[in-house]
Structure 1
Amino acid sequence: LGRIHFWGTFVCINLVFMPMFIQGLGGMNRRMYDGGMQYAHNQSLLKWNVVIGMAAWTMGLFQIPFIVNFLWSIKNGKKVENDNPWQATTVEWSAPSPPGHGNFTVAPVVYRGPYEYSVPGAAKDFSPQFEPERA
């Protein structure tokens, strides 16, 4: 569902805004009370409004998989088992989940840089900033 939403939205967003770019290059003003109907030089550009409208409505339809996926995930999705479910190394993952007021219960201490991945000789494949060195 996520890929359907992404690719559908990606294609439609380009089909909405690229014709607007073409209209602008053709000299069509953005703000006209009648959509440019009174100007003879805009008549050839008005056909793009149909493409823009159809692409916008189609993009709206591609939001349905997102909404379905979002609601299904809230109800049936996998629950987080710990405060760092992705095994990230940066200090913000030392906060409890969900975070309380002020985010951290105590001020975090940083023991190393944020990108300690695949450290030779380490017990784990990553070393979080907020865990002290082990002997």
Structure 2
Amino acid sequence: MTAQAVSTIRFTLFKHSRESFLAALDDASISHSSVVQFSRQPQASGFTEMVSALSDAMPWNGIAKVIISWVEARKSRRVMVQMKDRVVSIEAEGYSAKDVERLLKACRDIAIIDTLPQGKEIEALE
């Protein structure tokens, strides 16, 4: 029997990003699960979702494509990738899917942010 490593990606969804980003993962057939966190100290408000799979089966490219298309769909969206050393955070905007895929393999956490609710972007531009 061969032991295989499990890869996980932790997404923290802020503001108005939860519904649209999870729908984008669902549309790409990427399974995810909610994580409930308990703490004695105040925490940043946000919802946590995890994608996990055996390393060989992790849909790195699919997740990268979801991130790129989700960010490009609205100007109010941001994706911040925090690397494992916790020092470097990289904004995913402007990167190719291949670049984002490489970042995902070396990341610790990903913050998904949409500052405007659905349908409000047009009003903000007026």
Normalization by structure 2: what TM-score?
Answer: 0.23
Structure with higher strand content: 2
Greater relative contact order, per chain length (Cα 8 Å cut-off, separation 6+): 2
Q: Which has the larger radius of gyration?
A: 1
Tell me which protein shows more helix as a share of its residues.
Answer: 1
With structure 1 as the length reference, what TM-score do the two structures score?
0.21
